[in-house]
Amino acid sequence: MARPAVRGLVIDAHCHLFAARHAEDWFAAAAHYGIDAFSTMTPLEEALVLQRRYPGRLNFIVVPAWQKMADANKEAFIDDWLRRLEAFYNIGSRIIKFHQAPQTLVRSGLSLESPLLQKVIREAVARDMIIMTHMGDPDTWYAAKYTDAKYGTREQHYAMWEAALTEYRDRPWLGAHMGGNPENLPRLQSLLDRFPNLYLDLSATRWIAREVSARRDEAKAFVIKNQDRLLWGSDQVSQDGRGFDFLASRWWVHRKLWETDYSGPSPIFDPDLPADRQPELRGLALPADVLQKIYHDNAVKFLARVGIRFEEAEAAVAAGST
């Protein structure tokens, strides 16, 4: 597939390369789709070897060791997270991710309002880092998975987020997955209008493709209006057994969605809908100048605010490194 018609690197600003053993297929599929550099949520234990093998190509986002949550009390979990924050920071990480999906809030008991989690937020702010949040989840999940009152409501979740955005109004903030609510573009517009420090990424594949396609004209107008505040990301997730074809299917959907006027089936089954009501993929065919911004310019400018540069990645790509 031809590279996107973009000057400079194509940057996937939200993905999950989980292990060095997945990297060969990852970078092969990425090269096929013209994707050069990545902001990835990678376990600390895998980050150093990936950094050595693919210099400059990976910007690591600080994440905790979620697998330890079940084995530790909250205080020990937070202490471990703070140690990981420092270790990630020492290898160049300047973004930290707070996963605030309803099921995570229930499982961890750590919300943006939690005094324990506030320790991590304050440490990240003291280090002048970008804050990234996953708020909310698909409307289909609120309707089917989150009916128990223990999960709370979307309105409660977004009131909490707005309080944090207000408290840290001057902090660069990235809202994952179109702010977690692509079903409600007026809500997202209101957030962008009221919080100039807030940017949104366009990541997730099934969810974003389904909801953007369902409101194609409205979504296209939204992206064009906010073209300076949006970063493209795939939410690609590596796992054992997910080879080239799996990875390719996700990047293919994104490129068709943003770059073309394709209207037709997706290669990805959507488990949120019945087999006989699978969503149609409907491309936005965004203008070239908008694609330039969401694929490259906005990520470069946004990450430069915390000192992240891409010269090493540019040199690696120019040298033909995969």
Nearest to 306 by CA among 17, 49, 96, 57: 96
Nearest to 212 by CA among 197, 193, 230, 239: 230
Q: What is the pLDDT of residues 57-66, one digit of tens each?
A: 999 999 999 8
For residues 200 and 172, the answer to whether their CB atoms sit within 8 Å is no
Q: What is the pLDDT of residues 4-15, one digit of tens each?
A: 999 999 999 999
CA angle, corner 239, sides to 139 and 2, nearest 5? Answer: 85
Determine whether 243 is exposed, middle or buried from the number of CB atoms within 10 Å of its CB (0-12, 13-18, 19+): middle
Domain boundaries, the chain: 11-317
Round to whole Å and give the CA distance between 44 and 55.
16
* pLDDT at 321 > cutoff 70: no
Determine the topology of domain 11-317 in CATH.
TIM Barrel (3.20.20)
- State pTM to two decimals: 0.96
Q: What is the pLDDT of residues 237-293, one digit of tens each?
A: 999 999 999 999 999 999 999 999 999 999 999 999 999 999 999 999 999 999 999
Q: What is the pLDDT of residues 130-169, one digit of tens each?
A: 999 999 999 999 999 999 999 999 999 999 999 999 999 9
Per-residue model confidence (pLDDT) at position 138: 97
Per-residue model confidence (pLDDT) at position 70: 66
Q: What is the pLDDT of residues 281-292, one digit of tens each?
A: 999 999 999 999
* pLDDT at 114 > cutoff 70: yes
SS (H, E, C) 179-246: HCCCCCHHHHHHHHHHCCCEEEECCCCHHHHHHHHHCHHHHHHHHHHCCCCEECCCCCECCCCCCHHH
User: Which spans in the chain are helix H?
Assistant: 23-32, 44-53, 74-90, 102-108, 115-126, 139-144, 154-167, 176-179, 185-194, 206-214, 216-225, 244-259, 288-292, 298-304, 311-318
Mean pLDDT of the chain: 96
For residues 322 and 303, the answer to whether their CB atoms sit within 8 Å is no
Tallying the residues shown for the chain, one arrives at 322
Q: Rg of the chain over CA atoms, in angstroms?
A: 19
Q: What are phi and psi of 6, to 5 degrees?
A: -125, 135
Over residues 173-188, mean pLDDT: 98
Per-residue model confidence (pLDDT) at position 108: 92
Round to whole Å and give the CA distance between 125 and 306.
11
Torsion sign, CA atoms 154, 41, 265, 252: positive
Q: Percent of the chain at pLDDT above 70?
A: 98
